[in-house]
Every structure is written in C-alpha cells, then in structure tokens.
Amino acid sequence: MRPFLRIFFFASAVSVSAHAGTGKRAAPDLDLSAASWIWYPTSTLPTSAPAGSVSFLRTIQSPTNKTATAATILVAADNSFVLWVNGHPIGQGEGFTTAQTFAAALNGSSNTISVSANNALDGAPEDANPAGLLALVEVLYSDGSRDTFVSDDSWRVMSTVPDDFPLPAATADYVNAQEEGKAGTGPWGAIGVAPASALTPDALNGSSWLWCSSGAATDAPEGSVGFRLTFTSPAGRSASNVSLLVTADNTFTFFLNDARVASPPPYPNTLETTQLWVYAQRITAQLDPGRTQNTFTFLATNFASQGGPNPAGFITTLLVAYSDGTTTRIQSDASWLCASVSSSDAPETAFLPLSDSQLAPATVQAAYGDAPWGKLNVADALDVRRLGSGDQSTQTQTASASSSTELLPPMAPTDTHSVDLVAPTSMLPTQSASTGRAAAGIGQGKKMEMAMICWLALVSFGAAF
C-alpha cells in the first residue's frame, strides 16, 4: 500500500496539526505472525485455563533521542478484552478469530499498554477451555521511524484485575506471561485483522467550530461552555447507535442523555505538552432503540492562556445509525444551543440541568479546516459506560498523552441534519493558518522548534512519495 503523507508531533514541543489522517498504517499492512498467544502461567495451557479475568501490562520506553507520538494496536482475545493506553480506555472486543484495530495517543518517552482479558466457559468443559491474548503495538516516532512490539513473555500478567487497574500502583504480583504459541498455531488457528473504523477527519467537512461568544477564534477567556443538541429520529426509524468525531480546544466531556460517555486523554495545561485537541476523538455509543429523541451534550473547556492570544472552539460530526441500515449526519453549526459555565461551578452540574430556554444559539467561529485550527487527526476512545465501576481512566486533566491517526475512506451518510446550539465563552490556544495548531505564547525557542518540525514533516513527505 502506498504510504500516506506523514506529519509528526513532538511531545516536548508545541504541537502542529497534521493533514487529516497521518502516521497510522492500514491494519492489513501489519503482520501478527511474530506475536504469541499469552496468558497467566498455567500448566494446562494452551489446552485449558480457568474461567475468569486476568490483567496484562506492557510498558514501552522510547529509545534515546526518539519521541513516540502515536500507535496502531491490534488485539484479539479468547474470549474478550478491554484495552487502555496510559490509563485511557481505547476499545474492546470479543472473539479470537479476528484482531481488532485501534488508534492511540502516546506520551513521548514512556507508555503503558493495559489489557483486561476474560476467559469464559461458554459451555465448554473446564479441561478443554483455551484462553489467550494476542497483540501487536506499532509505535510511530516523531522522526518517522517505527518500532513493533508483540505479545510475548515480556508482558506482565496478574491472575486477577486489581481495583486500581488499568494503572495499578503495586505491580509486585504481576509475573511474566506464558507463551502458548505463535499466531496461527494452537487451538486458535488463522487470525484475521479487522480494519479500523472508516470514520475519518473527512467526516468533519461541513462542520463548524463553535463557541458561545464572537471572536473566540482569536481570543477567549478561560472557562467551560456547554453545547446541546436534541435530535428526533425520523418517523418509522429506530436509532441503534451514534458514531462521532469530536474535539474541543482544549478539552471536552461527552454526555448522551445526561450520562457521561467519553473524554480525551487528560493532559496538563503547558506549552511543553502536545495539544491533544488536534486529535478528534472517535467514539461509538449505543442508543436505546425505544427512544425517539436523544440529547447530545458536550462540555468544552478552554484552559488559561500561556501567553498571547488564546482561541477556543468546539467541533463535531455525529452519524446516527438506524436498524434499517440508513444513517443521519449531524454537524456542529449555528443551530446548536449553548451556555457559558461559571468557573466557580462544576461544569457538569451547572449545565446539564439547564432547559433549552436558558440557552442561546452558538456562534460559528470557523469552518472545519480553516484557521486557527486547520485540519485534525483522529484517535479512538471507548464509551466508559461499557467499563466496570472503579475505572480510573475517566478523569480529565491529569497525565499527558498524545494520539494516533489514520486516513480511511470518508463516510457517506444518507441524510444531513444540522441543529443550533448556544455556546458560552472559553479560552483556547491559537493556531497558525499554515500549520493548523494553537500558537499562543510561542517564543523564539518555540519558533525554532516549529521550524525543525516543519523540516522533518517535509522530509517525511518526500520519503512517503
């Protein structure tokens, strides 16, 4: 497959927005043959293992003078799994015949892959109930090079899933995993690879960056803004799920019918950290087929200025899928409703109870692709409602991380639907039109870093073609 244009992000530098879909290769290009099926050490493997859940950890350190930016991750499990990267839920899957494909954001120097895997009896006798995890992690570095890490006996495993998983404080009870055989061998046979979601940044074409005040694309104060859209399904159609791309400068939380669904990976408000808003989060949430109306709420937060202009914005495209196979596209535009949330209030409790009559129409700041935000990339995020209680990955604004990207065919929904929302004011870093990233507070040193990044991007472009 012909390589795609690649523009890379430095975790230690102010980030630059890449062309939509970079850095991540299509899943069929990745070879699982070097990966081994692994499990908690048991004398009866690979024939049988006790039913129940185990937890895996694999920490990947970047080589000296290399900065990790993104990863493509393939995972299959007998019988099911949940995947986290640096404590952030990425995805889940069931079945051992096909590996699932995910895009993830990485820290520059050290990244922890966490997987909880469950072995179910499924009616099989206990002495003939195989269990296993198969995984591949391809890490992309800022210089365009890649390293591949596969499941083997270097992965650490525990016979249970601790309460503070996916980032357990104590790891003394984790032991080296037992290898059961390479991919394609043992009781599992040949393994297929599922393609990643076809929802790409191209789906944001036609959507607008919003805020609750004019001029936010240039400068906006620190704070949070809530956005709301209530969507009514067409007569005779039953909505089954919604897939969306969403980001906010600087961060957001997504609620479906007032239930928390997802947020981006947390990160501190510093210029030295990659700005994660350049990665639109790719989320799929199940809808109640019995509901004719669904309310989509996003709480967007603008961090304090790091010096200089501080833009703020929110953008999304949602694809509502129906049981008959049709879809409706919903895009962020001036029909959304919004309201500013006082910095003294908890945004969640302050905005969710408000009625539509207390909200105002959102203000369009820019079309997708325009300055100051430019083009975006995409990374996967899991609906946290599908996780068990005690998950530590739903918090926002603590650890730093970045995200991976992918270029795939755009979606082609059957309908287009837009709704107005009213938006409060908030503050976000500015971006240059040429790079599409926030450029607030960039001094001479940062300008040198930006020049080096652009040079490396051009080198990578040439290498790709």
Q: Tell me the pLDDT tens digit for each residue of 415-465.
A: 333 232 222 222 222 232 222 333 333 232 322 333 333 333 333 333 333
Predicted local confidence at residue 52, as pLDDT: 95
Pairwise CA distance, residues 224 & 348, whole Å: 10
Is 149 part of a structural domain of the chain? Answer: yes
Dihedrals phi, psi of 202, to nearest 5 degrees: -60, -25
The C-alpha atoms of residue 384 and residue 48 are separated, in whole angstroms, by 31
Give the per-residue pLDDT at 122: 74
Rounded to whole angstroms, the Cα distance separating 182 from 188 reads 10
Same domain for 420 and 287? yes
Rounded to whole angstroms, how far apart are CA atoms 85 and 104?
7
State how far the alpha carbon of 303 is from the alpha carbons of 28, 402, 427, 440, in Å: 39, 17, 6, 12
pLDDT of residue 387: 86
Q: Which residue, chain included where needed, has tokens 């006996």?
A: 153
pLDDT at 454: 37
CATH number, position 412: 2.60.120.260
DSSP E strands: which ranges in 106-160?
110-119, 132-141, 146-150, 156-158
**Strand pairing class (192-193; 68-78):** unpaired
pLDDT of 345: 65
Q: Please identify which residue in the block is written with the tokens 């892959």.
A: 113
Asked if the structure places residue 188 within a domain, the reply is: yes
Do residue 222 and residue 348 come from a single domain? yes
Give me the residue label for tokens 């105002």: 360
Amino acid at 241: N
Task: Give the count of beta carbons closer than 10 Å to the beta carbon of residue 14.
Answer: 27
Contacts of 461 (CB under 8 A, 6+ apart): 5, 6, 7
Same domain, 290 and 422: yes
Nearest of 305, 311, 228 to residue 277 by alpha carbon: 311
In a domain, 3, yes or no: no
Q: What angle do CA 263, 265, 267 make, to 5 degrees?
A: 120
Q: How far is CA 389 from CA 233, 288, 346, 394, in A?
A: 31, 21, 22, 11
Quote the CA–CA distance of 351 and 295 in Å, as a whole number. 13
Q: Are residues 210 and 297 in the same domain?
A: yes
Q: What are the phi and psi torsion angles at 216 (to 5°)?
A: -70, -20
Q: Are both 94 and 217 inside the same structural domain? A: no
pLDDT score for 424: 25
Give counts: helices (H), strands (E), the chain.
Answer: 2, 27
State whether 56 and 174 are in the same domain.
yes
Residues with Cβ within 8 Å of 455's Cβ and at least 6 positions away in sequence, in order, are none
Specify whether the CB–CB gap between 132 and 38 falls below 8 A: yes
pLDDT of residue 347: 78
Amino acid identity, residue 420? D
Provide the strand spans (E) within 46-164: 52-61, 68-78, 80-85, 88-94, 98-105, 110-119, 132-141, 146-150, 156-158
Is residue 105 domain-shared with residue 206, that is, in the same domain?
Answer: no
Task: State the number of CA atoms in the 13 A half-sphere of 205 facing the CB.
Answer: 9
Domain that residue 104 falls in: 27-193
- Domain assignment present for residue 147? The answer is yes
Residue 170 token pair: 């104590």
Q: Please say which residue of 193, 209, 243 terminates a domain.
A: 193
Residue 303 inside a domain? The answer is: yes
Mean pLDDT, the chain cut into blocks of 10 residues (465 residues total): 29 30 57 97 95 97 92 96 96 95 88 97 80 97 95 98 95 97 96 90 97 97 96 97 97 96 80 73 96 98 89 98 97 98 76 96 98 93 80 33 26 30 25 30 30 35 38
Report the residue count for the chain: 465
Largest CA distance in the chain: 68
One domain for residues 208 and 128: no
Position 18 in a domain? no
Residues 101 and 218 placed together within one structural domain of the fold: no
Percentage of the chain exceeding pLDDT 70: 75
81 and 171 share a domain? yes
Output the pLDDT for position 393: 37
The token pair that represents 82 in the structure block: 């949940």
Residue appearing with tokens 């109306």:
293
pLDDT in tens, 144-155: 999 999 999 999
Domain ends where: 161, 193, 225? 193
Using only C-alpha atoms, the chain has a radius of gyration, in whole angstroms, of: 22
* Residue 465 in domain: no
207, two tokens: 């959507």
In the chain, how many domains are there? 2
